[in-house]
Amino acid sequence: MPVELLEMSECSPSLTREPLDAEQAAGVARVFKALGDPVRLRILSIVASRAGGEVCVCDITGSFELSQPTISHHLKVLKEVGLLTSERRASWVYYRLVPETLGELSALLDVPATV
Amino acid sequence: MPVELLEMSECSPSLTREPLDAEQAAGVARVFKALGDPVRLRILSIVASRAGGEVCVCDITGSFELSQPTISHHLKVLKEVGLLTSERRASWVYYRLVPETLGELSALLDVPATV
DNA sequence: CCTTCGTATAGACGCTCGTCGAATTAGGTG
DNA sequence: CACCTAATTCGACGAGCGTCTATACGAAGG
């Protein structure tokens, strides 16, 4: 559970500021790798675009022609890198977005308009 | 060479707008997968943070304890997904950032502060 | 309890990826 | 031309990933 994705001395992390060191790069790459799968991206967008912010696993499996364990695996990956959280209520497990993680990545990729 | 990473009807692409379809997800996932490697992330940050915006391959290889063909492979991957461009001048090949691609990804991950 | 439903885990299998050394292409120079 | 340097391409190998089926777990209901 990474508290902070980036531990930069400055407050505005960006790829354009200065080269990432190996450790920083490894941490960020973990998250991008999780985003580097079409199914996981779609899962994330399903959760992100859901009005209440919550999605039940059973709502996701119906959107894919993949086995339920496969979806479960992808959810686990997204959770491990801090993009999703889960909560069990009765028989169902609900997943929510972690907007802070997405925000950090967005800021990291946010390059000045004209270089 | 993807002209446009996303072909959404709306002008403000974001994960939170509506779920990505399979085709969109596949296109975006290609780029994120390229970012999902620590070495490639560091290469990208080296290019991005370079004052002139240009980096020679020989400048990059020195920053890693990896063989030169391996660096060349990573540069190729970053180029194929539209994150870098290259230009040959004399014996040297120079790589530049494609800020538009990074900008699209940044916008995609830019979620509203409070959901 | 035993069953049923929703979800997670375990193990297996094929394919992809990152890395290497070796060979190849491209440009510059004597 | 021969030679050198810069960079890419090739072929191979081991590790990791996405998917599956089968199994286990957890909660609710007869």
CATH of the domain at A75: 1.10.10.10
CB contact under 8 A, A25 and B35: no
**Strand D contact nucleotides, protein CB < 7 Å:** 5-11, 17-23, 26-28
Q: What is the pLDDT of residue A114?
A: 60
Structurally, chain B folds into a number of domains equal to 1
Q: What is the pLDDT of residue B115?
A: 44
Q: Which residues of B86-113 are buried (b: 16+ CB within 10 A; e: fewer)?
A: eeeeeeeebbbbbbebbbbbbbbbbbee
Average pLDDT over residues A101-114: 89
Residue B103 placed within a domain:
yes
Using the predicted structure, report yes or no on whether residue B114 has a pLDDT greater than 70: no
Beta strand spans in B1-115 (E): 54-56, 84-89, 92-97
CB contact under 8 A, A29 and B38: yes
Q: What is the pLDDT of residues B7-51, one digit of tens each?
A: 554 556 788 888 999 999 999 999 999 999 999 999 999 999 998
Instruction: Give how far A58 is from chain B: nearest CA, Å.
Output: 16
d(CA B37, CA B58): 20
Which domain, by its residues, includes B38?
Answer: 22-109
Q: What is the pLDDT of residue A115?
A: 44
pTM, 2 dp = 0.92
Average pLDDT value for chain A: 90
pLDDT band per the 50, 70, 90 thresholds, residue A6: low
Q: Which two tokens stand for residue B64?
A: 């890693």
Q: What are phi and psi of B88, to 5 degrees?
A: -95, 130
Using the predicted structure, report yes or no on whether residue A1 has a pLDDT greater than 80: no
Percent of chain A residues topping a pLDDT of 90:
77
CB contact under 8 A, A42 and B49: no
Average pLDDT value for chain B: 90
Residue B79 placed within a domain:
yes
Q: What is the pLDDT of residue A7?
A: 56
Whole-number Å distance, CA B92 to C1' C28? 11
Q: What's the one-letter identity of residue B115?
A: V
